[in-house]
Amino acid sequence: MPQIPDDSCDEFPFAGSFEGGTDGAQCADIVPLFENGQWRIYEARVDKPVTFTEPCVRAHVPEGANFSAGGKYGAFVKDQRVLDTEKYGVSVSS
């Protein structure tokens, strides 16, 4: 597994969302890295292989990226007045 400086965990669905808050032990643990113009996903723990049946994903990312993404999500919920159970889409770009 690649090493992540200032490793922190960021989850999907977002902990602050209606679907979030799943026990992290149930999540797939991954390390996403942008390499050669594309995202590659690595298993974060050799003792916990990803099965693709997990109800959530916990990505090991640098703390600054985690804080930045969480802030953008919080601002989105507030600015768009997203309510519990209201549907919205998530797009990931690099």
- The string of pLDDT tens digits covering residues 42-57 is 999 889 999 999 998 8
pLDDT for the residue 94 = 57
pLDDT for the residue 72 = 84
pLDDT for the residue 2 = 60
Q: What is the DSSP string of 13-58?
A: S-TTSTT----GGGSEEEEEEEETTEEEEEES-TTS---S--S-EE
pLDDT for the residue 47 = 93
- Give the residue ranges of the chain where pLDDT is below 50: none
Phi then psi dihedrals of residue 60, to 5 deg:
-90, 110
pLDDT for the residue 39 = 85
In the block, residue with structure tokens 């049946």 = 53
